[in-house]
Homo-oligomer: A and B are copies of this chain.
């Protein structure tokens, strides 16, 4: 497992004001002294793994950062008799096939007390700013001062992004249902984060074993690895055996919210036969996972019986695993699913642990041909109805979205979602903007993801290069995460998020000033950037060279225009120069250059 600081930066923490004991983490990058600039602060979801002062032991799990906050609020009680692990929770695995259990001795399971607030939504509605809310407010601001509104730029399509995030703003956004702070009270190891249209766009990475592959350590490693590169949440989509035990290892070691699709495990419990699924098995699975500490559940309650025939003429039918399972169940029983019929009971269970809803789009399109069709939009309206039911129960809600959508049909997805789901955060998979590039679907989908993020999607579920072809390995996970980080950031820039452009501008200045190390370190992947540079100009001296191998020393435009500017500045200190003065200065400069021959020729560092 890769732990320790990431190259080029180091961990810093900031305390709270309302809650002084908060330690909100950031990744800070120092610049070369020649820059004359303060360090750049970046968002950091990697948890204690990148803090060299923390002793990591995955057998022990992370420390319970939030345990004291939850206890202090006094709204939860320890469950006397938590649900015990049963053989079917691990698909009946025994002996050598059974993954080792996480050592839960000493761990308690909590549940909300009757009549008390327990979800962040309930606290927010009650006017209470929680520790989690101040934490995410600090986190979102990236240690910058409030931005001068005059400097902001962007098209936010009706969002309400503030110049500076206050704890009260966070509370208000959660109270309105416009943001979700996924934080199961049984996942105290979590470093709080927020998902909402008026905050930084987040990304999710999927991990999970399937019937074909998967081991405990590999899955924990993938989670740590994904957050190391920037995943804000992780979904454990394991199927097959050992999913209870694997999930325990993941949750106990995860600094980010963990999402699951409980129907997968429920299906395993009934031997993989969709028709045999029952409310009782599903309910049991919800409690099992809620007690483990899963932070959000994908629930495909919008797959209604009447919508299934709408998929009959599709090119790719139903492509959501959960959606197809529920469609099969609905048809077999010719009735609405228990997810839909028992939705209020599901809400009651999830509220008690503050598990957030991620209402699944079981009928999302699986191809360009099927985008924005009747089945998809019918389900979306039902998800809107269910959102209101969940809110009435005090539950936090986000809505899942497609999938495969050509560019001209992306905005309609966001518009429909906003119109029908009361501004609950949208959480989309891609979307892929073409189907012709298997092996490159991280890119076909990054195009759609950046666009829908710009339009208002709050979290983007990553797609790796292996999409449609196989299970992602470590490299694929990293590629997927970085691709989605850049897409999310492009969305933040276009929305005019006040914290976004500081990062781009820092890279651009480093580039213009040939601070190669700064350019590498400020990038999303310093190692790869450095490695690419070194393939053609490996010498250490070239790290300060005023050119690169792309154009060579004589043709370096940046060098030439820097020379032009430096010369102009030497005429005048530059402060308050009018355009006319600059022109005059440059003209005078022109005379000098002419007289002096190649006075501004490039100085080559070798």
Residues of chain B contacted by A465 (CB below 8 angstroms): 532
Tell me whether A407 is interfacial, beta carbon within 8 Å. Answer: yes
Contact of A520 among B334, B369, B438, B442 (CB under 8 A): B438
Instruction: Report whether B579 and A524 are in contact in the complex, using a CB–CB cutoff of 8 Å.
Output: no
- Asked if A525 is at the interface of the complex by the 8 Å CB criterion, the answer is yes
Binds B, one of A31-39, A133-141, A338-346, A503-511: A503-511
Q: How far is the CB of A246 from chain B (nearest CB, A)?
A: 15
Give every chain B residue within 8 A of A565 (Cβ-Cβ). Answer: 312, 317
- Asked whether, in the complex, the Cβ of A519 is within 8 Å of the Cβ of B550, the reply is no
CB-nearest residue of chain B to A577 = B312
Assess whether A450 is interfacial by the CB under 8 Å rule.
Answer: yes
Given contacts A333-B590, A367-B504, A511-B468, contact A406 B523 (CB under 8 A): no
A348 at the interface (CB under 8 A from B): no
Interface residues of A in 409-439 (CB under 8 A from B): 433-439
| Alpha-carbon distance between A385 and B163 when the two chains are bound, in angstroms | 42
A555 within 8 A of B: yes
Least CB distance from A2 to B in Å reads 18
Do B436 and A598 touch across chains, with their CB atoms under 8 A apart? no
- The answer to whether A470 touches B406, judged by C-beta atoms less than 8 angstroms apart, is no
Q: Is A392 an interface residue (CB 8 A)?
A: no
A370 surroundings in chain B (CB, below 8 A): 508
Contacts of A443 in B (CB 8 A): 442-443, 446, 483, 486-487
Contact A450 B433, CB 8 Å, known A533-B469, A550-B468, A551-B210: yes
| B272 & A407 in contact (Cβ 8 Å cutoff) | no
Q: Contact at B551–A315, with CB atoms within 8 Å?
A: no
Q: Mark A479-514, 1 if CB is under 8 A from B, else 0.
A: 000110111011101111000010111011101100
Asked if A63 CB lies within 8 Å of chain B CBs, one says no
| Interface contact A406-B490, CB-CB below 8 Å | yes
Mark the stretch among A180-188, A287-295, A556-564 that contacts chain B: A556-564
Q: Report if A264 contacts B (CB, 8 A).
A: yes
Say which size band chain A's interface belongs to: 35 or more
Selecting from A10-18, A79-87, A121-129, A581-589, the interface stretch reads A581-589
Which B residues touch A594, using CB under 8 A? Answer: 275, 332-334
Cα of A175 to Cα of B226 in the assembled complex, Å: 54
Q: With A436-B507, A522-B436, A532-B469 as known contacts, state yes or no: A447 contacts B444, CB within 8 Å.
A: no
Binding stretch for chain B, among A67-75, A112-120, A191-199, A320-328: A320-328
Asked whether A312 lies within 8 Å of B487 as measured between CB atoms, the reply is no
Q: Is A56 an interface residue (CB 8 A)?
A: no
A150 within 8 Å of B (CB atoms): no
Interchain CB contact (< 8 A) of A557 among B312, B324, B471, B486: B324
Q: For the complex, is A240 an interface residue (Cβ under 8 Å from B)?
A: yes
Query: A366 near B: Cβ within 8 Å?
Result: yes
Quote the shortest CB–CB distance from A447 to chain B (angstroms).
Answer: 5
Q: How far is the CA of A529 from the CA of B590 in the complex (A)?
A: 56
Known contacts A273-B601, A324-B560, A435-B504: A586-B308 contact under CB 8 Å: yes
How far is it, in angstroms, between the C-alpha of A271 and the C-alpha of B484 when the chains are bound? 45
CA distance A13 to B482 in the complex (A): 42
Task: Tell me which of B334, B483, B495, B600 contacts A590 (CB under 8 A).
Answer: B334
Q: Across the two chains, which residue of chain B brings its CB closest to A491?
A: B407
Q: How far is the CB of A548 from chain B (nearest CB, A)?
A: 6
Name which residue of chain B comes closest to A362, CB basis: B557
Contact A440 B319 (CB under 8 A): no
User: Does A145 make an interface contact (CB < 8 A)?
Assistant: no
Task: Say yes or no for A59: interface residue by CB 8 A criterion.
Answer: no
Within 8 Å by CB of A470, from B332, B333, B533, lies B533
Given A537-B212, A568-B312, CB of A598 within 8 Å of CB of B369: no
Known: A309-B579, A440-B486, A601-B273. A324 touches B561 (CB 8 A): yes
Beta-carbon contact of A434 and B493 below 8 Å = yes
**Is the CB of A103 closer than 8 A to any CB of chain B?**
no
Judge whether A319 and B557 touch: CB under 8 Å. Answer: yes
Instruction: Indicate whether A284 reaches chain B with its CB closer than 8 angstroms.
Output: no
CB <8 Å contact, B408 and A454: yes
- CB pair B509–A561 under 8 Å, yes or no, is no
> 9 shortest A-B CB distances, which residue pairs?
A317-B561, A211-B552, A367-B508, A407-B494, A324-B557, A324-B560, A318-B561, A331-B590, A433-B490
Known: A334-B591, A434-B486. 10 other contacts (CB 8 A): A153-B408, A210-B551, A211-B553, A368-B505, A368-B508, A436-B489, A438-B507, A444-B490, A469-B548, A470-B537
Which A residues are within 8 Å of any B CB, using their own CB?
153-155, 210-213, 239-240, 264, 267, 272-275, 306, 308-312, 315-321, 323-325, 327-328, 330-334, 366-370, 406-408, 433-440, 442-444, 446-447, 450-451, 454, 465-471, 473, 482-483, 485-487, 489-491, 493-496, 501, 503-505, 507-509, 511-512, 519-520, 522-525, 528-529, 532-533, 535-537, 548-558, 560-565, 568, 577, 579, 582-583, 586-587, 589-591, 593-594, 597-598, 600-601
Q: List 10 A-B contacts (CB under 8 A).
A: A267-B554, A306-B583, A318-B561, A319-B557, A319-B561, A328-B564, A408-B495, A437-B486, A437-B523, A443-B446
